[in-house]
Amino acid sequence: MNKKNLREEIVLRAGVNPKKCMKCGKCSGTCPAYDEMEYHPHQFVNMVDTGDIEPLLNSESLYKCLTCFACVERCPRGVEPAKLIEAVRLSAIRKQGANRMTPNDVPAFVDEDTPQQLLVSAFRKYTK
């Protein structure tokens, strides 16, 4: 898939328009996972917009996003960075065999305090 098609696919899947970004950086400013990330939310938006998506697909940053939606809530322009990150993540794990999680991995995570919802959401995020 070429660069332009990939950008369009991701934008379509995310349902948001990265062109609306005014580069204020409030998404990164508000992000609780910032320090874990190689590419920060505001960079994500810019890289998707310019079609520079390959480095994102190969970056661990995709899995560091907590999907807490703080950036979505606070973005003054309605760009909703978390939705773009989710869309890029789906591009990565929808490739054959790219699952980040299998049912075998689950028991290791489970203890009394783990909410079921967490497992459901992890499966949604990390499997095809």
Partner 1 sequence: MQRIGVFVCWCGSNIAGTVDVKAVAQALKLEPGVVFSTDYQYMCSQAGQNMIIDAVKEHNLTGIVVCSCSPRMHEATFRKTAAAAGLNPYMVEIANIREQCSWVHKEMPIGTEKAIILGKAAVAKVNLNTPLTPGESPVTKRALVIGGGIAGIQTALDIADAGFPVDIVETKPTIGGKMAQLDKTFPTLDCAACILTPKMVDVAQHDKIRIFSYSEVTEVKGFVGNFDVTIKKKARFVDETKCTGCGDCVDKCPMKKNPNEFNMGMDNRSAIYIPFAQAVPKVATIDAGACTMLKKGKCGLCSKVCGAGAIDYTQKDQFIEEKYGAIVVATGFNPISMDKFDEYAYSQSKDVITSLEFERLTNAAGPTQGKLLRPSDGKHPHKIVFVQCVGSRCASCAEKGKEYCSKICCMYTAKHAMLTRDKYPDTEVYVFYIDVRTPGKNFDEFYRRAVEEYGVNYIKGMVGKITPEGDVLKVQASDLISNKQLHIDADLVVLAAAIEPDKSARPLATMLTASMDTNDFFTEAHPKLRPVESPTAGVFLSGACQGPKDIPETVSQAGAAASKVIGLLCKDKLTGNPCVASSNEMMCNGCSSCERVCPYGAITYTDKEFRMPDRTTQVRRVASVNPAVCQGCGCCTVACPSGAMDLRGFANNQIMAEVDAICK
> Which residues bind to partner 1, rule: CB under 8 A?
20, 22-31, 34-35, 40, 42-43, 70, 74-78
Nearer to partner 1, 30 or 99 (CB): 30
Name the minimum Å distance from CB 74 to partner 1. Answer: 6
By CB atoms closer than 10 A (0-12, 13-18, 19+), residue 41 is: buried
Nearer to partner 1, 25 or 51 (CB): 25
Nearer to partner 1, 15 or 76 (CB): 76
CA–CA gap between residue 85 and residue 125 (Å, rounded): 11
Nearer to partner 1, 20 or 125 (CB): 20
Structure tokens at 16: 């948001």
Name the minimum Å distance from CB 76 to partner 1. Answer: 4
Name the minimum Å distance from CB 49 to partner 1. Answer: 15
Name the minimum Å distance from CB 88 to partner 1. Answer: 19
Q: What are the DSSP calls for 39-72, one per residue? A: S-HHHHHHHHHTT--HHHHT-THHHH-----HHH
- Number of CB atoms found within 10 A of residue 50's CB: 11
